[in-house]
A = this chain, B = another copy of it.
Amino acid sequence: MKTQNIPKATIKRLAVYIQVLTGLKRDGVEVVSSEKLARACSVNPSQIRKDLAYFGEFGVRGVGYYVHELIASIKHSLGVDRVWGCALVGVGNLGRALLRHKEFALRGFSIRAAFDCDPYKIGEIVSGLEVVCTRQLKSRVDELGLEIGIISTPPERAQRAANYLVEGGLKGIVNFAQARIQVPKEITVEYVDFTHHFYSVAFNVSSSD
């Protein structure tokens, strides 16, 4: 079932489909037509069919998609139908918000450890986790099943955080810090940057004036 080389844009849309489908499920909807799903996701129905075709056949002609089943299938295809153990490095404002953000656990990403090298933060409990010195990271990886690292440090400390995660043997990093990082090429890195969304809104608003 697992298909390699799925375009990033498709994965992004699949995340939107899961978000919209989860909303429908919350509202008690059991079946959704492809037109209605497409409208709610701001794409056209053929795009949804194309994206889902990477993973197999979905939907029932004349009926649509079974909401619960489609969520499960997309999650299975993406490998997110299991819980991933995550380690967060950088317990500043953003780090604290991420530790307290309920969505991650709901989506299968369980933050099990919080690291920071600031002696004033070590020992503090944030959202049920004790902040531990980043030098201890490697020794916690197996015990806690840490697989994905989250960097939420200031920009100038992002590379050091990345080094600790790589030494710890983590294979994937989601980087919220405003800095590029260098890691061995077998490590997957995703950069999260809110700014371009603001730029995009600002650009569109000034263009339409």
Contact B94 A195 (CB under 8 A): no
A interface, CB within 8 angstroms of B: 2, 4, 6, 8, 11-12, 14-16, 18-20, 23, 40-42, 78-80, 84, 93-94, 96-98, 100-101, 103-104, 107-109, 147-148, 155, 171-174, 176, 178-180, 186, 188-208
Contact B78 A193 (CB under 8 A): no
* Cβ-neighbour of A201 out of B155, B173, B200 (below 8 A): B173
Q: Which residues of B contact A19 (CB under 8 A)?
A: 178-180, 193, 195
Q: Which residues of B contact A179 (CB under 8 A)?
A: 19, 23
Q: How far is the CB of A83 from chain B (nearest CB, A)?
A: 10
Q: Which residues of B contact A84 (CB under 8 A)?
A: 198, 202
Give the top 8 A-B pairs by smallest Cβ distance, nearest first: A97-B97, A15-B196, A79-B206, A172-B201, A190-B197, A188-B204, A93-B100, A172-B205
A197–B11 Cα gap in the complex (Å)? 9
Contact A190 B180 (CB under 8 A): no
Given contacts A93-B101, A100-B93, A208-B171, are A79 and B202 in contact (CB under 8 A)? yes
Contact B192 A194 (CB under 8 A): yes
A206–B40 Cα gap in the complex (Å)? 29
Q: How far is the CB of A113 from chain B (nearest CB, A)?
A: 16
Q: In this complex, which of A12, A109, A172, A191 has the most chain B Cβ atoms within 10 angstroms of its Cβ?
A: A172
* Cβ-neighbour of A103 out of B15, B78, B195 (below 8 A): B195
* Cβ-neighbour of A204 out of B172, B180, B198, B201 (below 8 A): B172
Q: In this complex, which of A14, A199, A208 has the most chain B Cβ atoms within 10 angstroms of its Cβ?
A: A199
Q: List 28 A-B contacts (CB under 8 A).
A: A2-B206, A14-B196, A14-B199, A16-B191, A18-B195, A23-B179, A40-B180, A78-B199, A79-B202, A80-B202, A84-B198, A93-B97, A93-B101, A97-B98, A103-B194, A103-B195, A104-B198, A107-B195, A107-B198, A107-B199, A109-B198, A171-B205, A188-B200, A188-B205, A189-B201, A190-B198, A190-B200, A192-B197
